[in-house]
Chains A and B, each alone.
Chain A
Amino acid sequence: MIEIQGLHKKFGKNQVLSGVDLTIKGGGIFAVLGPNGSGKTTLIKSILGMVVPNKGRISVLDTDIKNSWKYREEIDYLPQIANFPGNLKVKELIRMIKDLRRKPGNEERMIDQFGLDPFLDKKLSTLSGGTKQKVNILLTFMFDGPLKILDEPTTGLDPASLICLKELILEGKQKGKTILITSHIMQFVEEMADEIVYLLEGKIYFKGSIDELKTKTGQTNFEHAIADISIHAADV
């Protein structure tokens, strides 16, 4: 599904990714973890073609993404901070994205689930952070692409919406989609993820299941296991 070889990216003097090799085969939920500034968002944006790598090769669904844009039809992306054009109404934004992607969307159900009905005619600049995030999730999940990339999807959500989000993610998994998630909420990751990719200082430090991680670090608690990686990595 996604194949990354020797990915390097530098912003000015700041080396963010230094030789990331990663293969993600189709199907399942993959969590990309790492401390702040470890390059999670840069990695995701490289896959989306928003960041142009200095070195390395990325292919998505067996197509090299360099100078290509068609492959993004298969990706539904949830950006980290929901920044939308402020003078559009929610309804107009949904219509616009559907028009741009030339695909029908099944937004109706999610509008009910998230209780977005009263906001449809409101401008995006007037929405609260949590409501914006709901709109953000709706825009991502209304399409049926095989690959979903979610950058901090839980930000600002109330408990009820969080449950909805989890249902949506699990439903996607059952349909055989590949879902890539970054999050700092370990409880959420432990509950959802099939496999973990741990980024540290621009490299992949660990890739495997949660149980493998626990065995490797000798911890029984997932949160401690993750913390353990950071401490041991600092020793080396």
Chain B
Amino acid sequence: MFKILKYSFYDLIRSRWSYVYFLFYLALGFVLLFLNNDLSKAVITFMNVIIVLVPLIGTIFGVMYFYNSKEFTELLLAQPLKRSSIFLGQYLGVAGSLTLSLVLGLGIPFVLYGLFRSEAIWNFSLLLVTGTFLTLIFTALSFNIALSNENKIMGFGYAVLLWLFLAVIYDGLFLLSLIIFEEYPLDSFSLATTMFNPIDLSRTLILLKLDISALLGYTGAVFKQFFGTNLGLIIAIGVLLLWAVLPIFHLVYRSRKKDF
């Protein structure tokens, strides 16, 4: 598996897209820090960007890589290699290079602006951890979509729809249901709804840590009331971990039955 990871990773590192993604975050980091001139505030701004953008890029990149590396995959399948290691290796190669671009792209401007001398370091680290989770989750989901759809356009369409649903539509439906059922106790409902969307979960996680009650919103408040800040953090991270692990298992399971 590690050999395949190595080759996928090298392949991606050499491709233009990793650099574009890296430079984009680098530029974004510098611009936002320049405008905010305050690390803690910049973390909040970044959270809003990362939570929408990282899933989008993970999804698109994952689907694109999977379809583009069809030849590579077929070449590997005829070699004495386990199927699960072929797909896990490729997956980790993509997710790894995306994470590296994110961490370096955001890390460099923050470090230059004096991150290590600031109190924002833990908040910033959490931001990067969340970004990593979102990359892992959405790349895994997109690999699953690409594996089940032979047709590239369909696969692409489903992947974009998935992102749109989780990033935008889900919140709309959630708010709508809160309004419709406002006469009922909605604590457990809203808690569960948050758990089922990794983007919402990440947002809640960061806001819990930042402890900005004004921005927490209804779910965040319920979350905090239910679990307290620390337990809430641990549970949120645990659920994010589940969100990453389950699609990976599904990927390995599906890849065993696929014909090439």
B225: min CB distance to chain A, Å = 49
With A51-B260, A69-B82, A101-B80 in contact, do A83 and B74 touch (Cβ < 8 Å)? Answer: yes
Q: Does A126 contact B (CB under 8 A)?
A: no
Across the interface, which residues of A come within 8 angstroms of B71, CB to CB?
A: 83-86
What is the total number of residues of chain B having a CB less than 8 Å from a CB of chain A?
25
Considering the complex, which residues of chain A in the window 188-217 have a beta carbon less than 8 Å from any beta carbon of chain B?
Answer: none
Main secondary structure on B side of the interface with A: helix
A100→B3 contact, CB < 8 A: yes
Q: Does B183 contact A (CB under 8 A)?
A: no
With A52-B258, A52-B259, A97-B79 in contact, do A79 and B69 touch (Cβ < 8 Å)? Answer: no
Q: Which stretch (B7-15, B94-102, B193-201) binds chain A?
A: B7-15
A85 and chain B: residue at smallest CB distance: B72
Give Cα distance in the complex from A72 to B79, angstroms. 6
A11→B259 contact, CB < 8 A: yes
B257 and chain A: residue at smallest CB distance: A52
A50→B260 contact, CB < 8 A: yes
Contacting residue for B7 out of A77, A83, A96, CB 8 A? A96
Across the interface, which residues of A come within 8 angstroms of B112, CB to CB?
A: none
B73: min CB distance to chain A, Å = 9
Considering the complex, which residues of chain B in the window 7-26 have a beta carbon less than 8 Å from any beta carbon of chain A?
Answer: 7, 11, 14-15
Scan A50-92; emit 1 where CB is below 8 A from any B CB, else 0.
1110000000000000010111110101010001111110000
What is the total number of residues of chain A having a CB less than 8 Å from a CB of chain B?
27
Give Cα distance in the complex from A75 to B81, angstroms. 12
Give Cα distance in the complex from A79 to B78, angstroms. 9
A99→B257 contact, CB < 8 A: no
Give Cα distance in the complex from A230 to B63, angstroms. 43
B83→A69 contact, CB < 8 A: yes
Across the interface, which residues of A come within 8 angstroms of B259, CB to CB?
A: 11, 45, 50-52
B14 and chain A: residue at smallest CB distance: A87
Q: Does A48 contact B (CB under 8 A)?
A: yes
Q: Does B76 contact A (CB under 8 A)?
A: yes
Give Cα distance in the complex from A48 to B79, angstroms. 9
Give Cα distance in the complex from A45 to B259, angstroms. 9
B166: min CB distance to chain A, Å = 31
A183: min CB distance to chain B, Å = 19
Give Cα distance in the complex from A101 to B78, angstroms. 11
Give Cα distance in the complex from A85 to B75, angstroms. 9
B81→A45 contact, CB < 8 A: no
B77→A100 contact, CB < 8 A: no
Indicate the member of A11, A50, A52, A85 with the most B CB atoms within 10 Å.
Answer: A85
With A84-B75, A85-B11, A85-B72 in contact, do A70 and B80 touch (Cβ < 8 Å)? Answer: yes
A51 and chain B: residue at smallest CB distance: B259
With A85-B69, A85-B71, A87-B11 in contact, do A50 and B78 touch (Cβ < 8 Å)? Answer: yes
Across the interface, which residues of B come within 8 angstroms of A99, CB to CB?
A: 3
B residues neighboring A (CB under 8 Å): 3-4, 7, 11, 14-15, 69-72, 74-83, 256-260
**Nearest 5 CB-CB pairings of A with B:** A83-B71, A72-B80, A73-B80, A85-B72, A77-B78
A residues neighboring B (CB under 8 Å): 11, 45, 48-52, 67, 69-73, 75, 77, 79, 83-88, 96-97, 99-101
9 pairs from A and B in contact (CB 8 Å cutoff): A52-B258, A52-B259, A69-B82, A72-B79, A75-B78, A84-B71, A85-B72, A88-B11, A97-B75
